[in-house]
Amino acid sequence: MSDSDLFEYLLRLGDDRLVLGHRLSEWCGHAPILEEDIALANIALDLIGQSSLYLHLAGEVEGKGRSEDALAYFRETIEFQNFLIVELPNGDFAFTILRQFLFDVFSFHLLQQLEKSAHAELGGIAAKGYKEVRYHLRHSSEWVQRLGDGTDESHARAQRALDELWRFTGEMFEMDAIDERLLTARIAADLKAIEPKWRAMVSDVLSRATLKIPENVAMMTGGRRGRHTEYLGHMLSEMQIVARSHPGAEW
Amino acid sequence: MVIKSSAPTRDEVFELLTGIKDPELPVVDIVELGIVRDVSIDGDTVRVDVTPTYSGCPALSVIEDEIVEKLKAHGFSDVKVRNVFSPAWTTDWLSDETKQKLKDYGIAPPGTAAMIDGAELVTIRRSRETVACPYCGSRNTEQKSEFGSTACKAIHFCNGCDQPFDYFKPF
């Protein structure tokens, strides 16, 4: 394990939450009902907050004086290491909720492991996030059941979202050399151990929602290596433009 | 022998910090909320350890600025605010007195932060905990949303006095 491994690992944790948090924030003012508008904005705030803690720590580990803002606003698309699933456009409310649910179940199990990380500061940040994600998961899992087992229209939209999203779930459980080395050092989570737990919880909720997991799906991958969909660059250009147009600005 | 006595003691610093309120909850101070974790003094340098309530709590940076301003005004030339994350902040740290202050302000105080995990977490709840209305005390209330005006609050509604109210979420 080296500092550079830890730096990359923290970027991954930060980038997933930053990109998903930004996507959720795009709902602000547009959600179907006021309570949902507030809920999605709150979840976005939690995720962006978690991201800033991971990226702050990443900057310290790197030791080149980069703050969380420098890492969020002044890296290029290919330097982002988030999963593809979090960068996809929001689609309809069903798509946003299904995506959130699939990620929340993953994050729930991930942070449960990471709060016991041998890296104390990483463990502390994860422990806080874990408490937040429990609220997120309760919210998204209830909506999945209401949409899936709701009207014909909501069921059809939820199933369509699941069919679209499933191909992006395999990437969450891929482990590369960085994961393996940090796992040996008891810093990182064992994604292979998380996969069956994720699958069990997801299947349980989806079956109650009368939704069917698509079969024989070829999984998409690449986010951890900076190979993204066409959507991330567009999202980042919007997210980064103020910081890049007015570097150093404070308000 | 000259004794330098301009800088306050550790206890006095804690006392000073009780003068700083959470900007989102202006009836409770940052010490009773459990945001201030520790204070250490070395000459005219002071370090205050703080912990965030929620990861994205926007009040924390305002609070940090106020800590620096306040302690500099009371004789410290160097004020450091350090973020600590362990143990994670919990609403269980609030005293009964603090909870009463929240209630008097119109925010229903949190219940115990029980850690519901696993299957129970992802099952639609048929019955929810009832939260007493902070205005009229009625238990005939309902949750409208688990996410409210700030990260730490949920939106509830009282059928007794027909008013919405905030509930400080157990966390």
Q: What is the pLDDT of residues B75-117, one digit of tens each?
A: 999 999 999 998 899 999 999 999 999 999 999 999 888 777 7
- CA-nearest residue of chain B to A112? B117
Chain B residues in contact with A205 by the CB 8 A cut-off are 122
Could you tell me if B144 lies within 8 Å of chain A, comparing CB atoms?
yes
Give DSSP secondary structure letters for chain A: --HHHHHHHHHHHHHHHHHHHHHHHTTTTTSSSHHHHHHHHHHHHHHHHHHHHHHHHHHHHHTS---HHHHHHSS-GGG----HHHHS---SHHHHHHHHHHHHHHHHHHHHHHTT-SSHHHHHHHHHHHHHHHHHHHHHHHHHHHHHTS-HHHHHHHHHHHHHHGGGSGGGG---HHHHHHHHTT-S--HHHHHHHHHHHHHHHHHHTT----SSPPPP--GGGT---HHHHHHHHHHHHHHHHSTT---
Non-local CB neighbours of B109 within 8 Å, separated by 6+ positions: B94, B98, B99, B100, B102, B103, B134, B168
pTM, full prediction: 0.94
Q: How confident is the model at residue B57 (pLDDT cuts 50, 70, 90)?
A: confident
Mean pLDDT over each residue of chain A, to the nearest integer:
97
Exposure string of B74-85, with b = 16+ CB inside 10 Å and e = fewer, is eebeebebebeb
Question: Nearest by CB to A45, which of B56, B88, B119?
Answer: B56
Range of weakest confidence among A31-35, B55-59, B118-122: B118-122
Q: What is the pLDDT of residues B13-38, one digit of tens each?
A: 999 999 999 988 889 999 999 999 99
Could you tell me if A204 lies within 8 Å of chain B, comparing CB atoms?
yes
Please state the rounded mean pLDDT for residues A200-226: 97
Chain A residues in contact with B145 by the CB 8 A cut-off are 35-36, 38-39
Residue B130, Cα to own-chain centre: how many angstroms?
Answer: 22
Chain B residues in contact with A47 by the CB 8 A cut-off are 56
Residue A180, Cα to own-chain centre: how many angstroms?
Answer: 21
Alpha-helical (H) ranges within B18-134 are 59-73, 96-105
Q: For chains A and B, what is the number of CB pairs under 8 angstroms?
A: 91
Chain A residues in contact with B54 by the CB 8 A cut-off are 45-46, 49, 128, 132
- CA-nearest residue of chain A to B55? A49
- CA-nearest residue of chain B to A41? B147
Interface of B with A in 79-108 (CB under 8 A): 84-89
Q: What is the pLDDT of residues A116-135, one digit of tens each?
A: 999 999 999 999 999 999 99
Question: Can you tell me the ipTM of this complex?
Answer: 0.88
